């Protein structure tokens, strides 16, 4: 607007000069005083008038250009406002959509929670405690990965025909908590022994050695009817450790009577949860290894293979609880 006002002012000044200023100067000039001819003055006056008209035209042109620019600025301003309104509208629509999606997700999550089984109730029903190790499913049986180092086993080359039951604990080192998994694993690693599975007090099943490898669990011994198995039962069997403590007589080679009497009675013998898990695991092993028949000839205790030096699983183990 300032530019436009300035141009209008110039236009008015030039118009006034054209009307009176230039002609007055031409009248006051006499032939005697002027060094030029009258015709020259008139010619010059005409040139001045033409120059003034050209300037006026140029000013008018500039004024028109300024008006055009102002119109363009006004149009651009309106377009910007329109775009801002459209952007705000899109944002509101997007927010409404997000709220709708969020509400839908909440409904789906709510339905999923309602239909999801309550894990705590399932765990209480099974009597299983939480474990930090990774759990896998082995033919329908939940198994927790607690694998021992590879040097605690070897490659298997013979068919699997037997299952051997054991008991184990760390009662000598930790009488108040004798069934800590890591304590048992440390003992196995330190002594270079192993088993394929170990079952905790609440029925949790830990896999220590894959079945396609030989675990070091049976040691030296003989099995009636299988002369080739002498001191080699490991090669033909799967070993299952159960976290338990036997009778005082069965444990007297490892501890004194007074020490045994100090053990919490709740730590002695086996639990119902262990029998339940053992039954599931045993059925699964027999299903995958048809050479193992479901009888007491093929499913045995460590004390049957090495009666002179082993007492596990002992007299407190109830074979009938697993179908024998």
DSSP 78-99: HHHHHHHHHHHHHHHHHHHHHH
Radius of gyration of the chain (CA): 52
Interior angle at CA 66, CA 63 and CA 68, nearest 5: 110
Residue 207 near residue 147 (C-beta atoms within 8 A): yes
235's CB contacts (< 8 A; 6+ apart) are 156, 157, 158, 214
As a whole number of angstroms, the distance between CA 126 and CA 53 comes to 108
Q: Which entry of 73, 241, 293, 297 is annotated as an active-site residue?
A: 241
Is 241 a residue of the active site? yes
Residue 195 near residue 241 (C-beta atoms within 8 A): yes
CA distances from 99 to 25, 74, 256 (A): 83, 38, 71
Burial class (CB in 10 A: 0-12, 13-18, 19+), 178: buried
Residue keyed to tokens 């070897």: 154
Residue 178 near residue 170 (C-beta atoms within 8 A): yes
Interior angle at CA 253, CA 303 and CA 152, nearest 5: 60
Enumerate the active-site residues.
241
């Amino acid at each position: 607007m300032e530019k436009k006002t300035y141009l209008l002012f110039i236009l008015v000044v030039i118009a006034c000069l054209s009307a009176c200023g230039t002609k007055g100067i031409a009248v006051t000039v006499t032939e005697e005083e002027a060094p030029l001819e009258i015709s020259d003055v008139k010619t010059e006056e005409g040139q001045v008038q033409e120059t003034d008209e050209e300037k006026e035209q140029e000013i008018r042109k500039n004024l028109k250009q300024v008006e055009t620019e102002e119109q363009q600025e006004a149009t651009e301003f309106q377009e910007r406002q329109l775009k801002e309104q459209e952007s705000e509208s899109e944002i509101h629509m997007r927010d409404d959509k997000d709220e709708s999606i969020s509400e839908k997700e909440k409904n789906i999550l709510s339905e999923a929670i309602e239909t999801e089984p309550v894990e705590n109730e399932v765990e209480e029903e099974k009597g299983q405690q939480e474990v930090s190790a990774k759990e896998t499913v082995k033919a329908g049986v939940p198994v927790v990965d607690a694998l021992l180092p590879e040097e605690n086993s070897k490659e298997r080359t013979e068919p699997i025909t037997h299952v051997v039951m054991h008991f184990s604990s760390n009662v000598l080192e930790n009488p108040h908590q004798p069934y800590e998994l890591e304590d048992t694993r440390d003992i196995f690693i330190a002594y270079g022994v192993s088993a394929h599975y170990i079952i905790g007090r609440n029925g949790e099943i830990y896999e220590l050695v894959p079945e396609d490898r030989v675990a070091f669990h049976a040691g030296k011994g003989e099995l009636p009817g299988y002369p080739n198995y002498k001191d080699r039962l490991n090669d033909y069997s799967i070993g299952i450790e159960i976290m338990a403590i036997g009778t005082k007589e069965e444990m007297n080679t490892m501890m004194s009577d007074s020490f045994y009497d100090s053990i919490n009675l709740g730590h002695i013998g086996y639990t119902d949860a262990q029998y339940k898990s053992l039954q599931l695991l045993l059925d699964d092993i027999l299903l995958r290894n048809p050479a193992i028949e479901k009888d007491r000839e093929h499913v045995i205790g460590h004390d049957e293979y090495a009666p002179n030096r082993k007492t596990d699983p002992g007299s407190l183990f109830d074979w009938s609880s697993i179908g024998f």
